[in-house]
Structure 1
Amino acid sequence: MSTPAPASPTVARPAATVVLLRDAPQPGPGGATVQVFLQRRVAGMAFAGGMTVFPGGGVDTGDRPDPGLWRGPGADWWARQFGCTPDEAGPLVVAAVRETFEECGVLLAGPGAVDPAARDDLVGRRRTMNDVLSAAALPLQADLLAPWARWVTPDAEPRRYDTAFFVAAVPEGQEADARTTEAVEATWWYPADALAGARRGELRLMPPTQHTLEEIAGYADVAGVLAAAQSRVVRVHRPVVHRDGRRVVVTVPGDPALRFDVDGLI
């Protein structure tokens, strides 16, 4: 994060992030089994360099829903959850599926397999998600995703995103991997352990990641997270960066409980 705010804030680009979940073979802190997949981004990246994040990224022009390749709630339903238009919601879901496959090899589509070269083709923008699924005759499974939150990057940032946060369990028979050029490491974490690592300075978390981990840490297993998502009202968080004495902090207007010290991120 950076200060001061520009005279005219950059328009926030639509983006999607997926909190990928699994139940670990052995219980973790407090007896919980739920784990999340986190990636530490390459330090030199223009946005969130060196941060530990969930898989995700900006919506691309090719992220257009194809009704013939769609299974689960439609764009109208997703629009109501995220407080946007159907024309905005459909691409968010496609971007969530594409980014998850690109960054960790988990395909929220099928069941079935795609061409082994498909992942590299998506990363290189040689094919779209619809191209890949159509060639394999696989539907995109929007019903494997659930809405969780929406975060808008502060006006002070030169790169801004309006990000839909989804939760999803890894489909049976699939494994998340670390084969991405955007991260130097990626693995499964108990949320409580990731938060403890951040407090020790071993991980660097942006406020949306930290808050989401704090929320997920309140559930014992994946089933609990997904059940909560079904009745959850998606909140739009619009944090602001400011100084509190000699500290730089991020706060969310209207929610005094959301306050983050970000001195290490400036």
Structure 2
Amino acid sequence: MSATPAAPRIAATLILLRDGARGLEILMIERHAGLRFAPGALVFPGGALCDDDLCDDDHADGDDNDMPLRLAAIRECFEECGILLARPSGGTGPIDAEAVERLTGRYQRRLLAGEIGFNAMLAAEGLVPACDLLVPYGHWITPEIRPRRFDTLFFLAPAPSGQAAEPDGSEVVRCLWDRPQDILLAADQERARLIFVTRMNLARLSRSASVAAALAGASAQRIVRITPEYVETGGGAELHIPQGTGYEPCVSPASLNDLA
């Protein structure tokens, strides 16, 4: 490990939830195998903050302290898989699925190319982001041993009714809904790749039977910033996290591949 760890980039992640026939389901996206960070892994929609997320928006609903992170999570989700948590300005109900499909076709490529900003899109369409629907769930920082690091706040939110998740065809090659325990099983059987932080969030979510239970559990748990410690032992490498964060186990077998 270098003497001076790389500074982590600020990021946000959105874990979308829905109640399925067999219990709680989570939206996962599969990253392109050629990407530098987490190639080929199943992750949640999300990414680093951009300048557009830092713009003041007096019309967005949510906690001002983490507003840029909420905006980033909603923006990244729309860019990566075409699901938009927003409502008409002055309204209380969500934007309908047909309108979101139209917006995806009109704006997604332009957003990815940097031709238009997310806030400009919302303003042009008379929309405001539904930041109040997001519930903070976890705060994770990539271990210091890694050259690419992120300081990420994870949010939960109920999935908007009727909206279909479709990969952007660039960073994201597949979208899927599944129970957290089934995603973990697929990874254990080497049918899917998970990085450590995704695995830990899925393991925690697997203890919730429904969307309501997951949101209630998130609201009751104090958010603690977690930086896993990579420890070499006689029995192999381990990742250690603090106790009392809502996540278990606190000691896990590890490899550098688990971290990105």
Q: Alignment partner of 2:30: what SS?
A: strand
1:229 alignment counterpart: 218
Alpha-carbon deviations, 1:36-95, whole Å to 9, x = none? 111221122111112211111111112124433312x231xxxxxxxxxx3xx2211110
Quick check: 194-203 or 97-106, which moved more?
194-203
Q: Alignment partner of 1:126: what SS?
A: coil
Residue type at the aligned position of 1:104: C
Query: How many residue pairs were aligned?
Result: 243
2:124 paired with 1:163: no
Partner Cα distance (2:238, 2:31) in 1: 22
2:17 alignment counterpart: 21
Quick check: 227-236 or 35-44, which moved more?
227-236
The structure-2 alpha-carbon separation of the partners of 1:117 and 1:57, relative to structure 1 and needing over 3 Å to count, comes to same
Q: Which runs of 5+ in 2 are unaligned?
A: 88-93
1:172 alignment counterpart: 161
What TM-score do the two structures reach when normalised by structure 2?
0.87
Q: CA deviation at 1:170?
A: 1.1
1:47 alignment counterpart: 37
The structure-2 alpha-carbon separation of the partners of 1:65 and 1:222, relative to structure 1 and needing over 3 Å to count, comes to farther
| One of 82, 92, 100 as aligned partner of 1:105 | 82
Matches within 5 A, 1:51-200: 51-71=41-61, 73-75=62-64, 86=65, 89-110=66-87, 111-112=94-95, 113=99, 115=103, 116-200=105-189
What TM-score do the two structures reach when normalised by structure 1?
0.85
Structural RMSD (CA): 1.9
Q: Alignment partner of 1:122: what SS?
A: helix
Alpha-carbon deviations, 1:4-60, whole Å to 9, x = none? x22211111000111111111x21xxxxx1101112211221111122111111111
Residue type at the aligned position of 2:39: G
1:260 alignment counterpart: 252
Q: Which runs of 5+ in 1 are unaligned?
A: 28-32, 76-85
The structure-2 alpha-carbon separation of the partners of 1:173 and 1:66, relative to structure 1 and needing over 3 Å to count, comes to farther
Q: CA deviation at 1:261?
A: 2.2
Partner Cα distance (1:151, 1:250) in 2: 13
The ranges of structure 1 where at least 4 consecutive aligned residues each deviate by more than 6 angstroms after the TM superposition are: none
Q: Alignment partner of 1:257: what SS?
A: coil
Residue type at the aligned position of 1:93: R
Partner Cα distance (1:14, 1:176) in 2: 25
2:199 paired with 1:203: no
Partner Cα distance (2:138, 2:107) in 1: 29
Partner Cα distance (2:109, 2:238) in 1: 39
Residue type at the aligned position of 2:121: V
